Structure 1
Amino acid sequence: MFSTRTARALATTAAMISAAALAGTTALGAAADGHHTTSGDLQGSLDGVVRHGAVGALVEVRGDSGPWRASAGVAEIGSTRPVLEHSRFRIGSITKSFTATVVLQLVDEGLIELDDPLALWFPAIPRAQDITVRHLLGHTSGIFDSFRTMPRPPAPAFLEATRRTWTPQELIDRALAHPPVFDRPGSEFSYSNTNYTILGAIVERVVGASYGEAIEQRILRPLKLSDTSLPGTRTRINGPHSQGYVPLLRDGRVELADFTEMNPSIMGAAGEMISTTEDLNDFFDALLSGELVSPELVTVMKTPSTPGGRYGLGLWIVRTSCGDVAYGHDGDAIAFQSYSFASGERDRQVTVALTPDFSGDPDDAVDALIDEALCG
């Protein structure tokens, strides 16, 4: 729940996009086989995302011809209201890249070391002397994922769990009630949202302010990401947005229920943020260019946390069909799913967001969309 897709996701990405109000076709670039991807190609691919199981979807692609934005489907079931290209959405686990950036800024400033033991801040956590900041960032700590302890749709208890306020310590305690998922920290990869709940708490202890305030001061304000926010316990999405839905069991039947409003404290530093396609592309461009952390640490972020792995420190690492390596993150906030990636040279970027209708699986269609956007 509220965790990113597994490493399978985005490994074979390949086609792309849709825009409700686009006249003509604009070439975004030439693929390795000489084919020029046009806005018409991308629009058709985004329409395909909706056909495979989404109420609506939107995208921003950046390439040789500048930014290209598009949308498909509708913003609300039962209406003809279009998806606005500047809509805000819950970004789920893409939040982890923001949290990781703040942690690495503190490393740049000499306030944290990547190999500092967790025991410096949480000595009571089992194996805290052996688990490091690096292990938390790269999901190699072995700490159980607290979100796996939560009820999932369509169970009615899901609503109760996502309406109340959770403290970071409550989430950590739920995880620690389970044994580690492997024996030796650093030896294996196991995606766990608890790692980033702990990192958010470490940031607070180091800087004397919440991780949300740190992200606001260190990333959002300097980059002027005015449509990005950390809602804390606020349930609403301010500004233009689509409605999100989850399947819930009611009177013996599973039906889609509006889940646009929820208490994001259950996700916290691992997934609470709200943003737009434009802001996310701006963020990853600044991060990967070395504007937010030193180039040396950007290289560390892009290095797999386990040999041959596909996750670095706060970044997924994926290979495209044209042979490039791309970096970014995806996020699953149940009613909102999002993906943001940049090519290794940062000459092409793509951010996709959708509201699933759970009638099918749009993953492959999204993968194809992202790949064609990055390969052109």
Structure 2
Amino acid sequence: MSTPTQTIQQAIDAVPRRYRGPGGALAVIKDGRVIGKRVWGYADQSRRIPVEPSTQFPICSITKQFVCGLMLDLERHPTSAMAAKGDVQKQFTDTLHDMLPLAREGLTVQNLADMQSGIRDYWALTTLWGAKPDDEFLIERDCPPMLEKTKSFHFKPGTEYSYSNVNFYLLGRIIERVAGEPLGKLLEERILKPAGMSTAFLCPNTAHHPPPCVGYEGNENVGFFDAVNRMEWSGDAGLVASLDDMIAYEQYLDQLYADPSSWYHTTAKPTTFSDGNTAGYHYGLGHMKANGIEMIGHGGALRGYRLNRRHVPGERLSVVVMFNHEADASAAVDDILRAALTQSNVDSNPIEPAPAWYGTYLDEATQLAITVTKSQRPGEVLITYGTHLESAPLKMTDTHSGKTRTMDGCISDDTLYIHRITENRKLSARRLTPREKELAEPNLAGAYYCEELDSTFHCTGEAGMFYGTFDGYLGKGIVTAMKYVGDDVWLLGCPRGLDASAPGDWTMVFHRNENGAISGFKIGCWLARGLDFVKRN
């Protein structure tokens, strides 16, 4: 019989085979000690440079929890200049109001840190502003117009969760303005050095990541090729760190968590929405539960990279996985945790889904399309919002109902009901029915304008094959194909954007005037929804 250590090692050894790609690194830390560690493959395939424990990876959105830790440390231990000005939280709030006038309509700094702001994600919106996937995006040049065009929320702050990188871009700038020092310097002095992360540093420009590590797009079918990244992050992401750095970080957090007064213990506590329901995100950390065991952590993604770290405080257990390719790092962490916690991944007696599940639906509240398709595994259906596949398939509890750890769903006749627990939102979506006359709508082509974004959409084509592209302050975007899904609803493909993951399919719900002619549309994806375009010609 295998010992727990052998079981964990078997799970570690399976990761390179199961999540195939150029290279990777991972570690398992228990009770402050490394109990499993592996690096494999190549940091740079063309130069034959292997991955080492010291190889620096961009850790992407894992940076967010570092920024929150810094913010809390500054509140508790302000600089002398901050202390002289009085209440630090008020300084943060006043700076937020100066940077974003919209914030005066009920937005708080805490909403930013908890992804409850209701602000649309700017990396998604860059598509509507005319950015091409490989374009350059710079903080000083391109972010001020972005903030100027942030004029509304897509839900009331505090009521829901919606991932938005604007939140942490703002937090980074707020910290810099209040403290009067660069974000990278503050992170180094107050978080990285105390954690023993000797080679980690803030590298905002993704084109300037330190060698030798290269991120790779592609797969074994088409081959792996160098990913192009030319955008700047700072606050929403930007740290680079090695596996050795991340091990030191996990050991540091293990010590901090034992102290109830520490900033990490504060960030690791759950929070709520304004209605009192438990929220699944707090201070840059996702909160989740698997088989009754509480976990906290975060993933990171950039074109060519996927990373994930997870901490199980009750077990003093952490797992870090770092890929320089686009395999599912979160799933790899799940595999290792399952072995470490001796949990089974076997489903018994799967329930076959009712045929009524399958089809495309429109959620009336968000005006977003939802597609339900068959899973390759029995007892499951796959639910997709645009091209954003949920992190886990919906597992049937009976033929018409199912659940995951973050979502419940059921089908009744032609209505799909979904409770997105993490987002604190309940959806009621009607089945869409394709109609031949809408497929070849002669009035669909033309130019459409969104005043709020100062964005123009150009639709071209005929006889059911239409294409779309956007013009905005970032340029003239690429043309992509549109897909008709039913009624007056179309999808506009966006498989690649400036950031990763890309927005996926945008839902376009067209409107008609009193004469039945197309007059405009509402567009959205889960990261940025509820934007109106009016037809000009």
- Normalised TM-score (structure 1): 0.74
> Who is 1:356 aligned against?
325
CA distance in 2, matches of 1:40, 1:342: 20
> Who is 1:274 aligned against?
240
> Who is 2:98 aligned against?
123
Give the match's secondary structure for 2:297: strand
Offset, 1:364: 6.5
Match of 1:186 among 128, 145, 158: 158
Give structure 1 stretches of 5+ with no counterpart. 1-25, 30-35, 248-253
Offset, 1:93: 0.1
Report % sequence identity.
Answer: 21
> Who is 1:250 aligned against?
none
Aligned pairs for 1:256-295 within 5 A: 257-259=225-227, 262-263=229-230, 265=232, 267-287=233-253, 289-290=255-256, 295=261
Offset, 1:294: 6.3
Does 2:71 match 1:99?
Answer: no
> Who is 2:290 aligned against?
320
Structure 1 residues 287 and 207, CA gap change in structure 2 (3 angstroms): farther
Offset, 1:135: 0.7
Judge conservation of contact 2:113–2:283 (CA < 8 Å) in 1.
yes
| Aligned-residue RMSD, C-alpha | 3.4
Give the match's secondary structure for 1:103: helix
CA distance in 2, matches of 1:339, 1:128: 31
CA distance in 2, matches of 1:141, 1:116: 19
Q: Which amino acid aligns with 1:140?
A: Q
Structure 1 residues 292 and 179, CA gap change in structure 2 (3 angstroms): farther
CA distance in 1, matches of 2:299, 2:16: 17
CA distance in 1, matches of 2:179, 2:99: 21
Structure 1 residues 219 and 69, CA gap change in structure 2 (3 angstroms): same
CA distance in 2, matches of 1:293, 1:272: 28
> Who is 1:145 aligned against?
121
Judge conservation of contact 2:135–2:230 (CA < 8 Å) in 1.
no
CA distance in 2, matches of 1:305, 1:282: 31
Judge conservation of contact 1:140–1:305 (CA < 8 Å) in 2.
no
Larger radius of gyration: 2
Does 2:111 match 1:135?
Answer: yes
Aligned pairs for 1:242-253 within 5 A: 242-246=213-217
Give the match's secondary structure for 1:270: coil
Higher-helix-fraction structure: 1
Aligned pairs, number: 325
Q: Which amino acid aligns with 2:10?
A: G
Does 2:199 match 1:227?
Answer: yes
- Normalised TM-score (structure 2): 0.53
CA distance in 2, matches of 1:170, 1:290: 38
Match of 2:139 among 137, 158, 166: 166
Judge conservation of contact 2:118–2:162 (CA < 8 Å) in 1.
yes
Offset, 1:373: 5.7
Offset, 1:291: 7.4
CA distances 1:196-231 after superposition (whole Å, capped 9, x unpaired): 111111111121101111101111222331121112
Give the match's secondary structure for 1:196: helix
Q: Which amino acid aligns with 2:69?
A: T
CA distances 1:251-284 after superposition (whole Å, capped 9, x unpaired): xxx985413x74552x211111100223223224
Highest RCO, 1 vs 2 (Cα 8 Å, sep ≥ 6): 1
Q: Which amino acid aligns with 2:124?
A: R
Judge conservation of contact 2:112–2:168 (CA < 8 Å) in 1.
yes
Give the match's secondary structure for 2:139: coil
Give the match's secondary structure for 2:22: strand
Higher-strand-fraction structure: 2
CA distance in 1, matches of 2:331, 2:96: 43
Offset, 1:370: 4.2
Offset, 1:305: 4.6
Match of 2:27 among 60, 66, 69: 60
Give the match's secondary structure for 2:7: strand
> Who is 1:200 aligned against?
172
CA distance in 2, matches of 1:176, 1:373: 49
CA distance in 1, matches of 2:53, 2:92: 44
Structure 1 residues 263 and 225, CA gap change in structure 2 (3 angstroms): farther
